[in-house]
Amino acid sequence: MGSNIIINKEIEKYINDHSLKLNSIQEEIILYNEGLGEIKKMQIAVTQCHFLHLIIKISKIKKILEIGTFTGLSALSMSLAMSDDGRLISLDKNEETNKVALNFFKKAQQNNKIQTIIRPALESLKALKEEKEKFELVFIDADKENYKIYYDESLNLINQGGLIIIDNVLWHGEVVDKKKKDKLTTNIREFNSYVNNDKRTENLIIPVGDGLCVCRKL
Ligand SMILES: C[S@@+](CC[C@H](N)C(=O)[O-])C[C@H]1O[C@@H](n2cnc3c(N)ncnc32)[C@H](O)[C@@H]1O
């Protein structure tokens, strides 16, 4: 059996040098986030931008829900992958980062495709369910404590064949470190088992960035 390689910084750079390229506004967001210090790590990895891009292109997705906008890198990456009639709703509770994201969406001429809602995500998800909104893809990248409930609520918002993609499911590799017993790591482990045992979806964890769990509704 072949063994998997460990993706260190050098290999990550090699992958980026030999893969899809970011557009100038995606690069501007990354540069902006670098100036934010520690919290820049909130943004998705460049390889994840490209992975989402390809999934959206291959599946010709036109309606996306995102939970966790931050300064807009993932939302912009997904919006750019959709055709002009595509629509993306992104949820976040932070007004400050939302302002920054909106600015970048406008600069990238994607503001007509992206709508943001500033409210605790659980409230927005309940409102979207009441409005009977449906999406083809839900991307979950917000507070890890609520992952299970976001996943369950997202299942109400997609049809059969729809996708839910969840970020950070490998939690810097700590999911397999038995010494790690903190609440967040435990939450992610329990979440991964919950999804994997869920008969409503089929799933695959992909080691891109901090680990993406891709689920397809059956
Ligand atoms: C990891 S960041 C999202 C990163 C973003 N996807 C990107 O690529 O730049 C998580 C975001 O979730 C938001 N968030 C955390 N808890 C939330 C909640 N209960 N409701 C709505 N947003 C929340 C935070 O404000 C933060 O902007």
Say yes or no: CB of residue 94 within 6 Å of ligand 1.
yes
* Range 160-185 average pLDDT: 96
How many separate domains does the chain show? 1
Helix axis angle, 73-81 to 46-59, nearest 10°: 30
In a domain, 210, yes or no: yes
Say yes or no: CB of residue 70 within 6 Å of ligand 1.
yes
In a domain, 44, yes or no: yes
Q: Which residues contact 121 (CB under 8 A, 6 or more apart)?
A: 67, 68, 91, 92, 93, 142, 143, 146, 150
CB atoms closer than 10 angstroms to residue 182 = 9
**The pLDDT of residue 4:** 77
In a domain, 194, yes or no: yes
What is the CATH number for 152? 3.40.50.150
pLDDT digits (tens, 9 = 90+) for 90-148: 999 999 999 999 999 999 999 999 999 999 999 999 999 999 999 999 999 999 999 99
* Residue 167 scores a pLDDT above 80: yes
In a domain, 93, yes or no: yes
**The pLDDT of residue 116:** 98
In a domain, 1, yes or no: no
In a domain, 212, yes or no: yes
Residue 7 pLDDT class (50, 70, 90 cuts): confident
Say yes or no: CB of residue 209 within 6 Å of ligand 1.
no
**The pLDDT of residue 100:** 98
58: containing domain: 9-217
CA of residue 16 to ligand 1 center, whole Å: 25
CA of residue 59 to ligand 1 center, whole Å: 25
99: tokens are: 């302002």
